[in-house]
Amino acid sequence: MFKFNFDVENEEEPEATKGPFTETSVQKAEQEDSGIVKEIVWYEAEQIKPNKTALSRLDLYELNAKDLKVGSTDIRHLIAGFLLEDIKIHGELESRDIKKSEESHSDLIIGVYEGGAKIWECTDDLLMYLSENYENSYWNDKRVLDLGCGSGLLGIYALQCGAKVDFQDYNKDVLEQITIPNVMLNVQADLSDDEKLAFLEDNTSFYSGDWSHFAQLTLDTEKYDLILTSETIYNIENQQKLLDTFSSRLKADGTVLVAGKSHYFGVGGGLEQFVDVIKQETTFVSKNVWQADENVKRGILKIKFK
């Protein structure tokens, strides 16, 4: 049986998980071994509301958080090792997908879990790129989508810089147990609980579910000036849904920034392959605006409407 085998990062290690996907998922391997290909039923989209239950644990989160400096911007986020251990001990139904991942020792269970509990290397790349290429004044009055957000660091950075940000992740429990707590860690500390919730209500939204369902759910909401997404192109079968989401939710003059590895071994996707898919379409143009060639090749694509 094949699995993604990655160690959970801790305080002694770099926060970003650096290994590329190396083998196929547990679920897919089981299907191939049995000779039965099951239809994947993707989760419907829904909006998730922050609540006082998460705020009640903020003191615990503060004790188990670390600081990340991105340019001149400070971001606090939960230490993944603590987070996953806490979920395994205390999480019940609300953490079912993350627990399945941990029990299976797999970072990807197709249709069930999409790796949102870890911070992947290309997120750091995109944070660095944003801090070096986007002035503070850019973010004023901007609407930003952190698509496939996981820990939410990209969206938190944009929020700290003054944008209004929506966070989307496939798994509801990732949003409730990881993303929303991380966002709350970065809300002004001297606000009351009611004021913190009001700030989140005015400046953020959180959505779970499949991309195509998310695009349909938010069809009547304002489109985005900037869509940020990292390590979301590994599954070739989902790339068209990703592009369709860009097309549906991006403003006519908006920009998408996609960070990823050149190739994801075992699952087929990668930046070079994704560029070919974009070229075959008639909707977008892409430009490679950043790349790293050491170890695993990585890069950032800027995508705009033709």
Per-residue pLDDT tens, the chain, 306 aa: give them: 323 333 334 333 344 555 444 333 334 434 444 455 567 887 899 999 999 988 998 998 999 999 999 999 999 999 876 766 666 666 554 556 655 555 555 555 555 445 545 677 899 999 999 999 999 999 999 999 999 999 999 999 999 999 999 999 998 988 998 999 999 999 999 999 999 999 999 999 999 999 999 999 999 999 999 999 999 998 898 999 999 999 999 999 999 999 999 998 877 899 999 999 999 989 999 999 999 987 789 999 999 999
The pTM (predicted TM-score) of the whole model is: 0.84
Residue 2 falls inside a structural domain: no
Residue 15 falls inside a structural domain: no
> Nearest CA to 17 among 118, 156, 152?
118
CATH number for position 233? 3.40.50.150
Residue 8 falls inside a structural domain: no
Residue 190 falls inside a structural domain: yes
What is the C-alpha separation between 173 and 95, in angstroms, rounded? Answer: 5
Residue 17: CB atoms within 10 Å: 20
For 145, the domain range is 26-305
Residue 9 falls inside a structural domain: no
Residue 63 falls inside a structural domain: yes
How many domains does the chain fold into? 1
Residue 150 falls inside a structural domain: yes
Residue 36 falls inside a structural domain: yes
> Nearest CA to 231 among 134, 131, 114?
114
> Nearest CA to 152 among 128, 125, 181, 110?
181
User: Which tokens is 249 given?
Assistant: 């939710």
